[in-house]
Structure 1
Amino acid sequence: MSRPPCRACVPGLRPPPSADPPYDDDRRAGRVAPPAGQGALALAHLPARTGPYARGDATPGERVLRGLAQAMAEVLAGRRPAGVVAGRLTEQAYGELLRAGRMISSPRQPLVGRPHVARPRDGVIEFCVLVHCGERSRVLALRLERGRRHWLCTDFETA
């Protein structure tokens, strides 16, 4: 059975906000705290460990990787501005993203699947996801390297 990453490995990792809106009764009673990072990507830190839990659920690290891949897929489909992921890419990768423009053609919002993760060496994570775009699916691969403060995407590719 896998354990969740230790606190020292994952500083500042918070659970994602609930997808369900609060009921009106909760708001009037003052029981609803404002959601942390509402509308923002929770990509500040990536855990040192990746891989599925014993039950098959995604680890917190996989959820973060999937969130980054989802944002990148939306940018490549022209549904989000590139600035949304600017802080998670190196200058070179961000320039490539701007030059790439719209690479994913999708009649609806693209939806990414579970990440397939590899760690070729310490401080490097490479992963790919299947991007469901309607009738035709695509693949998006990203390479992350540990920077001074957080992980940065140094390269991406889609096919």
Structure 2
Amino acid sequence: MTTHELRGLTTGEPAAHRAPHRSARPPVRDLPAAGHRVLQLLGPPSERHLAQRLNAILEVLAGLRAATQIQPLVDPALFARLLAHGRLPGTRHRIGTLHLCHPTDTALEASTTIQSGPRVLALAARFERNRTGWVCTRFHLLAPRTGPLRMVNQRPSAA
């Protein structure tokens, strides 16, 4: 059996066999403000992650989820608007295929269709990166118009 013994360095002995100490933490300037969770700020969220966030917002609008659960995921102004918004028509919904656009490095825009009961709704959302991660800053649920369609460029008929 082999025995091992640890001994400390004497004052004049070089420490050539030791690697220099490196901190595993990122520099302080890259960390978000105090009190926030440290999130990965490198790239935009995946399509699946965005769909989960949009689904959570839709569940709040349908009354299936507490609004406080999405508060860290949305902008404060949008959160106040979502609380004042009425309920979604129908309680079950299904998100269609997401279409993504990257207008800048710190912004992401998504659009999709929502199947809510017999109705199909359009959804447009904007996500922006801030010090705490990616948050939803715009959320527009567009319902189809009811009533007859009017032609915009139609000239009045001569009577």
**CA-to-aligned-CA distance 1:47-103 (integer Å, 9 cap, x gap):** 725xxxxxxxxxx7000000011111111222222112111011111111111131x
Segments of 5+ residues of structure 1 without an aligned counterpart are 1-43, 50-59
Contact 1:130 1:138 in 2 (8 A): yes
2:89 alignment partner in structure 1: 105
RMSD (Å), alpha carbons: 1.9
Segments of 5+ residues of structure 2 without an aligned counterpart are 1-38, 143-159
**CA-to-aligned-CA distance 1:92-139 (integer Å, 9 cap, x gap):** 11111111131x211x42111221111111200010121111211112
Give the counterpart of 1:48 among 43, 53, 62: 43
Contact 1:93 1:154 in 2 (8 A): yes
In structure 1, distance between residues paired with 2:69 and 2:112: 19
Contact 1:47 1:61 in 2 (8 A): no
Q: Which runs of 4+ in 1 moved over 2 A?
A: 44-49
2:64 aligned with 1:64: no
1:17 alignment partner in structure 2: none
In structure 2, distance between residues paired with 1:135 and 1:90: 31
In structure 2, distance between residues paired with 1:125 and 1:75: 22
In structure 1, distance between residues paired with 2:53 and 2:94: 12
Equivalent residues in 2 for 1:1-159, closer than 5 Å: 48=43, 61-102=46-87, 104-106=88-90, 108-159=91-142
TM-score (norm 1): 0.59
In structure 1, distance between residues paired with 2:120 and 2:58: 11
In structure 2, distance between residues paired with 1:47 and 1:133: 34
In structure 1, distance between residues paired with 2:93 and 2:40: 24
Q: Look up the SS of the partner of 1:146 in the other structure.
A: strand
TM-score (norm 2): 0.59
Q: How many residues align?
A: 104
- With over 3 angstroms needed to count, the CA separation of the structure-2 counterparts of 1:127 and 1:140, relative to structure 1, is same
In structure 2, distance between residues paired with 1:61 and 1:47: 12
Give 1:46 shift: 7.7
